[in-house]
């Protein structure tokens, strides 16, 4: 086997390993949020705090989200969110963010600056799950690209050095 093919196979294997890790992480955090019965109001408060730190310190937060593929499979992706603004009106809560993607299965690890940042609008809401005894579950979904949904943003994974990549 040629060494370039071997290296390509190894990189592909690493991407699959990372994808599996992100899948387990997204599923585990989703389950913890559900068990804690987190509400849209609590998540909204967290996003307001993120927006405040973003404006003062330039804070970006690690996020995992599901992306639906053409085959209707949904796989987690990873990135950094810069929360620009939180808008609450009546029964609707929207969050304006800038997303810097850092991992997708198709592209593997994406170096900062290799892919342009995307401005998105996220919606925070409580989703009713009738399969679990009429329990509600908080969701954060993208309005601009419906194939990107179920965003989970970590408050404890923050960086302040990503401003140059937000343009």
* Residue 59 neighbours by CB under 8 Å, 6+ apart: 50, 53, 82, 158, 159, 160
Predicted pLDDT at 53? 96
Averaged pLDDT for residues 15-19: 96
At 132, the pLDDT band (50, 70, 90 cuts) reads: low
The boundaries of the domain holding residue 14 are 3-165
Domain count within the chain:
1
What band does 151 get if pLDDT is binned at 50, 70 and 90? very high
Q: Is the pTM of this model over 0.85?
A: yes
pLDDT greater at residue 90 or residue 164? 164
Q: Per-residue DSSP letters for the chain? A: --HHHHHHHHHHHHHHHHHHHHHHHHHHHHHHHHHTT--HHHHHHHHHHHHHHHHHH--EEEEEEEEE-TTS-EEEEEEEEEEEEEEEETTEEEEEEEEEEEEETTTEE--TTSS--EEEEEEEEEEEEGGGTSEEEEEEEESS-TTEEEEEEEEEEEES--GGG--
Q: Report residue 90's pLDDT band, with 50, 70 and 90 as the boundaries.
A: confident
* Segment 104-112 mean pLDDT: 95
């Amino acid at each position: 086997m040629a060494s370039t093919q071997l290296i390509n196979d190894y990189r592909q294997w690493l991407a699959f390993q990372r994808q599996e890790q992100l899948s387990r992480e997204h599923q585990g955090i989703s389950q913890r949020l559900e068990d804690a019965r987190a509400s849209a109001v609590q998540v909204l408060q967290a996003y307001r705090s993120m927006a405040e730190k973003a404006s003062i310190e330039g804070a970006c937060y690690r996020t995992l989200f599901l992306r639906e593929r053409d085959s209707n499979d949904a796989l987690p992706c990873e990135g950094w969110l810069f929360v620009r603004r939180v808008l609450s009106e009546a029964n609707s809560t929207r969050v304006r963010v800038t997303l810097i993607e850092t991992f997708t299965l198709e592209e593997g690890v994406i170096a900062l600056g290799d892919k342009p940042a995307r401005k998105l609008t996220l919606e925070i809401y409580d989703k009713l799950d009738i399969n679990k005894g009429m329990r509600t579950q908080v969701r954060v979904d993208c309005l601009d690209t419906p194939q990107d949904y179920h965003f989970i943003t970590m408050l404890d994974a923050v960086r302040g050095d990503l401003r140059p990549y937000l343009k």
